[in-house]
Amino acid sequence: MKRIAFRNARLIDPASGLDAKGGLLVENGRIADVGPRLFNDAEPNDPEVIDCRGLILAPGLIDARVFTGEPGAEHRESLESASAAAAAGGVTGMIVMPNTDPVIDEPSLVDFLLRRAAATARVRVHPAAALTKGLLGETMTEMGLLKEAGAVAFTDGDRSVANARVFRRALSYAATFDVLVISHAEDPELVKGASATEGEFATRLGIPAAPAIAEAMMVERDIRLVELTGARLHFAQISTRAALEAIAAAKARGLPVTCGVAAHHLTLNELDVGAYYTFRKMRPPLRSEADRAAMVEGVASGVIDVIVSSHEPQGADTKRQPYASAAAGTVGLETLLPAALSLSHNGDAGLSQILAALTAAPARIFGLPGGTLARGAPADLVLLDENEPFVVDAGKLRSRAHNSAFEGRKFQGRAKATFVGGECVFDAR
């Protein structure tokens, strides 16, 4: 029986509200015991003892929005390289989007991903399958068979389903199997060709831009369809106050909706695009400062359930382009935790609340084991130093792609060691 004793830790378990000094015992990959008094009476007498030296021991992060290049674009990111970046960021589970080549819209492809992950990845990989075949927004996928194969949710990734009839039927069908649908909320026609948020700044730069309401319009439509069909819907990443208010109202009415926000929409605004800095071109684009502040408020108030990296690897070929032609997206697995912790350092949200949005909340919404320090849970853990200052050096990121929107950014707090099923997958102590 393999045992690891963590002692002298600050235990934070948002799922139970625990925040106390104490210890944690791992047996055979699961949490066997945890608590403030563990190891108080006697030093653990185990083959492996980890002295946490007062650092925070928390459930490993679950990143609910990760794009990789496997299958089809492994030169940008493989499951292996993404998982190395994840481990270095304290992420022990990642939900991977189906926007690959081929698209993950077949039970056999979910099976393939899970087998590849088991063979190559250091962290847990949870496939999200396509909601419509080929991500074309026309015909729904085999949600029952895909769920049986291991898909944890259904989404067209970074595409919205424009056709309300198709989306309505897909939601009805999803409700039949009680599976979660993830929506990317942007009116596709309204944002076509745009690479920024409409406003003074985009006008000055002369960048094609779309109005911020393109997001709330889709959120409001989707909420109506949730009300009609009873399906569970998660908005992958919202970025505007209008969307936040629509979701808050839907939640108040008891509708089964949840939402996420990307770390970059909590920490950057449209002005950070600066002089056509393509690494900060996103979908949805960076928003006004008022909208960024609203996102921070949303995390603090709990209307926003999860914080995601929206990790999207791009190569020099797709990013070293004039702004309008460059691809959108940023890598983010390794900067998710530091960026989220900035809310705590700024006094905008409590540490436990931020960690809840990175652990317990995604575990609950996606029905995953983990995200908690409870006895019997998988020993997916992160040991983190919430105060360690560092500067992001994109060249040193483990991700195969280095398109970080946070290049050069100063952060405080990072993962020092990461454990998946009790196995150490990253160690920077």
Partner 1 sequence: MTSADHSPILRSKHLLGIDGLSPLDIVALLDLAETYVVQGRASDKKTALLRGRTLINLFFESSTRTQSSFELAGKRLGADVMNMSVKTSSVSKGETLIDTASTLNAMRPDILVVRHQDAGAAELLSRKLDCSVINAGDGAHEHPTQALLDALTIRRHRGSFEGLVVAICGDVLHSRVARSNLRLLSMMGAQVRLVAPRTLLPCDAERFGVEVYTDMKSGLAGADIVMMLRLQLERMSGAFVPSAREYFRFYGLDREKLSVAKPGALVMHPGPMNRGVEIASDIADDVQVSLIAEQVEMGVALRMAILDALSRGMT
Query: Residues in the site for partner 1, rule: CB under 8 A?
Result: 133, 138-145, 169, 172-173, 175-176, 229-230
Per the rule left: phi > 0, alpha: psi between -120 and 50, beta: everything else, 233 is beta
Structure tokens at 389: 């200052």
At closest approach, how far in Å is the CB of 203 from partner 1? 42
At closest approach, how far in Å is the CB of 253 from partner 1? 20
DSSP H helices, 273-335, are 289-301, 316-319
At closest approach, how far in Å is the CB of 175 from partner 1? 5
Cβ closest to partner 1, residue 169 vs residue 364:
169
DSSP H helices, 278-386, are 289-301, 316-319, 336-345, 351-358, 360-366
At closest approach, how far in Å is the CB of 259 from partner 1? 23
- The Cα 59–Cα 340 span in angstroms is 15
Cβ closest to partner 1, residue 154 vs residue 323:
154
Q: How far apart are the first and last CA of the chain?
A: 25
Cβ closest to partner 1, residue 8 vs residue 172:
172
At closest approach, how far in Å is the CB of 156 from partner 1? 14
Integer angstrom CA distances of residue 52 from 23, 43, 350, 382 = 9, 14, 22, 11
Cβ closest to partner 1, residue 58 vs residue 129:
129
Cβ closest to partner 1, residue 139 vs residue 346:
139
Give the up-direction half-sphere exposure of residue 82: CA atoms within 13 A in the CB hemisphere.
34
Cβ closest to partner 1, residue 61 vs residue 171:
171
Do the beta carbons of residue 83 and residue 91 sit within 8 Å?
Answer: no
Which residue has tokens 């963590």?
A: 6
- The Cα 404–Cα 338 span in angstroms is 13
At closest approach, how far in Å is the CB of 144 from partner 1? 5
